[in-house]
Amino acid sequence: MDSVAAQALLEWQIELGATEAIGDTPVNRYDAPAKLPKAKTPSADPDPAPVEAVDPVAVARGLAKAAQSLDELRDAMAAFQHCELRRGARNLVFADGEPSARVMIVGEAPGRDEDIEGRPFVGQAGQLLDRMFDAIGMDRTSPDPAKSIYITNILPWRPPQNRDPEPAEMAMMMPFVERHIALADPDILVLMGNISCQALLGRKGITRLRGSWTEAQGRPVLPMFHPAYLLRNPAAKRDAWHDLLTLQKRLRES
């Protein structure tokens, strides 16, 4: 059959509705297919090396110990990646005031205003703090160590919704707090509120602790009501004034 005849036959079959070409050799479609070669079983990879658990407190301790200045300590805290609070905070709130001041104030944690400005005690509670210490002749802006104050917090990042710090958060930041105190080397620590007393004294109950001298980090400590508490409880300002006079007396005597 020549090509012209073959083409004509093919066109005729298409017109009849043929959709499949028929070969010259019959094929039994019911025959069992030939067995495919068995797939090779992939070799098992060796067990991955176990991931070592990271101790955030140990990491913080190493970073804090290596800091030889306040600037280095701030950089070390900024490099610390193990506290989840940093992910929701705008700024690291390190400190404010005169680092060489005789009095170092330790608060709890930044609030909204502190988070925005990157400085501790700048909101309403901070304004009250400034008025309190101004009443005994002390000011965070003074360059005179005898008249100035130096301010920091237990936590440098704002907790969500201003909630209380969790024990794990305080534990991992304590090496930085302790190193901060050692580098600033104040004569007296003033602990504002329950959280700072819990962190540095291991005790809570600011109503019982306030106004009584104790010791921590090798120096005298005076617990006081947090200014935020005084804003909620104005009647407690009388006790706060008594504590300020107690601090003033100690500074004059030493």
Task: Answer whether 70's CB lies under 8 Å from 180's CB.
Answer: yes
Confidence at residue 26, expressed as pLDDT on a 0 to 100 scale = 62
Half-sphere exposure at residue 137, Cβ-oriented, CA atoms within 13 angstroms: 10
SS3 150: strand
Task: Output the CA–CA distances (angstroms, integers) from residue 217 to 27, 91, 171, in the order listed.
Answer: 94, 27, 16
> What residue spans of the chain are helical by DSSP H?
3-15, 56-66, 70-79, 85-88, 112-117, 124-134, 167-184, 194-201, 206-209, 227-232, 237-253
**Is residue 30 scored above 70 in pLDDT?**
no
More confident position, 230 or 4: 230
Confidence at residue 54, expressed as pLDDT on a 0 to 100 scale = 87
More confident position, 32 or 207: 207
Please count the structural domains in the chain.
1
CATH code (residue 143) = 3.40.470.10
Confidence at residue 41, expressed as pLDDT on a 0 to 100 scale = 66
In a domain, 199, yes or no: yes
Distance, in Å, from the CA atom of 122 to the CA atom of 158, rounded to the nearest integer, reads 13
Confidence at residue 37, expressed as pLDDT on a 0 to 100 scale = 64
**Is residue 251 scored above 80 in pLDDT?**
yes
Taking only the tens place, the pLDDT of each residue in 58-93 is 999 999 999 999 999 999 999 999 999 999 999 999
In a domain, 30, yes or no: no
Distance of CA 108 to the CA centre of its chain: 13
Confidence at residue 172, expressed as pLDDT on a 0 to 100 scale = 98
Domain with 127 in it: 56-253
**Is residue 27 scored above 90 in pLDDT?**
no
